[in-house]
Structure 1
Amino acid sequence: MQIPAESVAATSLIEVVRISALPVRRGTPYPGRTVAHWAGDEAVEALALIGSLPGSSQHRCGFSPGWSIRAYDDSLDLVLFEAAFCFSCNEIRMHGAAVPPELATQFFDADSPQGEALLALFRAATP
């Protein structure tokens, strides 16, 4: 997966959200409950794992993401980007001020070791 490099460098906190529904319109936050916050080494390791997700072809499921991450800089005021992950159709939808249109929709191999590790991280974060 490709994450804008300036966003990766600026991220100081990641909020993990267990998604409860799709947003009303594209580009707005995914509704759900915040289940974890990752900072420091946890955030760096999570972004490295997400950045290492291998690409895949599109699968059809209707896009039903279970988790999203919201990345914040030191000010914690502005979301650098949000990425929602659907492990059924291998799709990631990302939006935010630093996300160019060509990175807004990406596909990843959910069955890869990296995909399985990310899903395990999300599940471990969810009470």
Structure 2
Amino acid sequence: MQLPAEVLADTALIEVVRISARPKKVGAPYPGETVAHWAGSEAADALALMRALTGSGQHRCGFSPGWSVRGYEKSLDIVLFEAAFCFGCHEVRMHGAAVPPDLARQFFDVDAPPAQELLARFRAAGT
């Protein structure tokens, strides 16, 4: 998965959200319960897993993401990115201050080890 350089350099905190509904408008945060905050090495490890996601073809499920992550810069005032992951259609949708339009929609191999590890971390955070 491609992440903007600003995201990799400036993300200080990642908020993990168990998505409960679709946002009311494009670019709005995905609603749901915040189940974890990752900082330091946890945030760096999560970003490394996201970068390691390999590409995949598009699958049809209607895009029903279960998890999202929001990356905040150091002051915690600016959301650099939000990435919503759908493990059904192999799609991740991103938006935020640091996300250019060409990276807003990507596809990933849900069966690859980095994707399975990321999903396991999401699930562990949600318990």
After TM superposition, the score normalised by the length of structure 1 is 0.98
Shift of residue 97, structure 1, vs aligned partner: 1.2
- Alignment match, 1:3: 3
**Between the two proteins, what is the percent identity of the paired residues?**
70
Residue 89 (structure 1) shift: 0.3
The corresponding residue for 2:54 is 54
Aligned-partner residue type, residue 37 of structure 1: H
8 Å CA contact 2:66–2:86 kept in 1: the answer is yes
Moved over 2 A (4+): none
How many residue pairs get aligned? The number is: 127
**1:16 Cα deviation after fit:** 0.1
Residue of structure 2 equivalent to 1:109: 109
- Structure 2 stretches lacking a partner, 5+ long: none
Matched, 1:119 2:119: yes
> What TM-score, normalized to structure 2?
0.98
Q: Which amino acid aligns with 1:119?
A: L
The CA RMSD over aligned residues, in Å, is: 0.5
| Residues 10 and 73, structure 2, Cα contact 8 Å, conserved in 1 | yes
List per-residue Cα deviations over 1:44-103 (Å, max 9, x = no partner). 010001110000000000000000000001100110000000000000000011111110
Deviations 1:21-65 (A, max 9, x none): 010111110000000000000000100011100000000000000
Letter in 2 for 1:49: L
Q: Distance in 2 between matches of 1:38 and 1:13?
A: 6
Unaligned runs of 5+ in 1: none
